[in-house]
């Protein structure tokens, strides 16, 4: 990774680490984002419960997401925990790293085109944009909320970076979900419900049967406002159609 943070991490911070050594009661790692600064995971912080063999949980060279527990800057000691990182936190951190690697690849591509040293261009951009992660700034460029022309960057480099950013970074998808409850006592009820479901399952939507007359419904869009508008429109269309077909239908949005 080109990202290199100075100093020490903060307590409670999540850090990406590489396992370097495994001992009977501890694991030593280097922190990828902090110039490979060394940290230690005590066996009690590797996994919950009794551990018979520490190597069942970690291996040399493995990438792990850890939580910073305690820091002693005078001695340079950093205590980490593996067991206190849940799956959701792990996914978020790994996605953050993946996004930053994409930003690094973009900078590397433009640097190569202009015969520049990527190890100089990357920190220069980092300093000018003043973001912890370069991807955060690039995402703002992609959305049109930030111009690289305004940060004092060479015009040619600015133009090329913007072009590649727009090509390589896509707007994040937003999913709004809800449940339809659909019932009918009409002899033709099954056929009518199928007609209604066809109306639901259009492009950009996802419908799945959940049992007992309930159907999960999701719609994907670029932002929450647009997704909310789309789902409101779709729900109104379906409920209107249900009324005409003499079908009992209701909808409940699932809050994120």
Domain of 224: which CATH number?
Answer: 3.30.70.1130
Whether 36 and 48 share a structural domain? yes
Residue 245 has pLDDT above 90, yes or no: no
When pLDDT is averaged across residues 107-132 and rounded to a whole number, the result is 91
pLDDT tens per residue across span 2-14: 778 888 999 999 9
Q: Give the C-alpha separation, 243 to 42, whole Å.
A: 63
Whole domain around residue 131: which residue ranges?
88-168
When pLDDT is averaged across residues 30-48 and rounded to a whole number, the result is 95
Whether 43 and 62 share a structural domain? yes
Whether 105 and 136 share a structural domain? yes
**CATH number for the domain including 28?**
2.40.50.140
Strands 37-42 and 248-254: unpaired
Q: Which residue has the higher pLDDT, 233 or 174?
A: 233
Residue 143 has pLDDT above 90, yes or no: no
Tokens of 250: 């209701």
Contacts with 123 (C-beta within 8 Å, 6 or more apart), sequence order: 2, 4
pLDDT at position 227 is 77
Query: How crowded is residue 217: how many other Cβ atoms within 10 Å of its Cβ?
Result: 25
Q: Which residue has the higher pLDDT, 256 or 200?
A: 200
pLDDT at position 65 is 97
Q: Which of the given ranges, 66-75, 138-147, 239-248, has the highest pLDDT on average?
A: 66-75
Residue 166 has pLDDT above 90, yes or no: yes
Whether 134 and 190 share a structural domain? no
Strands 77-81 and 37-42: parallel
Residue 15 has pLDDT above 70, yes or no: yes
pLDDT at position 184 is 86
Nearest to 42 by CA among 29, 31, 56, 61: 29
Whether 131 and 79 share a structural domain? no
Q: Which residue has the higher pLDDT, 15 or 210?
A: 15
Nearest to 26 by CA among 10, 12, 45: 45
């Amino acid at each position: 990774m080109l990202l290199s943070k100075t100093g020490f991490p903060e307590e409670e911070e999540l850090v990406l680490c590489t396992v370097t050594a495994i001992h009977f009661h501890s694991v030593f790692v280097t922190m990828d984002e902090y110039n490979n600064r060394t940290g230690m995971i005590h066996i009690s912080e590797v996994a919950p419960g009794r551990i018979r063999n520490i190597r069942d949980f970690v291996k040399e060279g493995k990438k792990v997401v850890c939580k910073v527990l305690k820091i002693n800057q005078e001695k340079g000691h950093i205590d980490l925990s593996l067991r206190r990182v849940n799956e959701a936190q792990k996914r978020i951190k790994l996605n953050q790293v993946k996004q930053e690697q994409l930003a690094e690849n973009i900078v590397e591509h433009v640097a190569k085109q202009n015969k520049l040293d990527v190890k100089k261009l990357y920190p220069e951009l980092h300093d000018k944009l003043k973001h912890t992660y370069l991807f955060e700034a690039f995402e703002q460029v992609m959305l049109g909320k930030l111009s690289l022309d305004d940060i004092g960057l060479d015009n040619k480099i600015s133009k090329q970076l913007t072009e590649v950013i727009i090509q390589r970074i896509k707007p994040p998808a937003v999913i709004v979900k809800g449940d339809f409850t659909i019932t009918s006592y009409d002899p033709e009820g099954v056929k009518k419900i199928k007609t209604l479901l066809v109306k639901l399952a259009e492009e950009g939507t996802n419908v799945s049967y959940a049992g007992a007359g309930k159907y999960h419904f999701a719609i994907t869009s670029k932002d929450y406002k647009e997704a909310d508008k789309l789902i409101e429109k779709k729900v109104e269309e379906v409920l209107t159609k249900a009324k005409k077909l003499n079908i009992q239908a209701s909808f409940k949005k699932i809050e994120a």
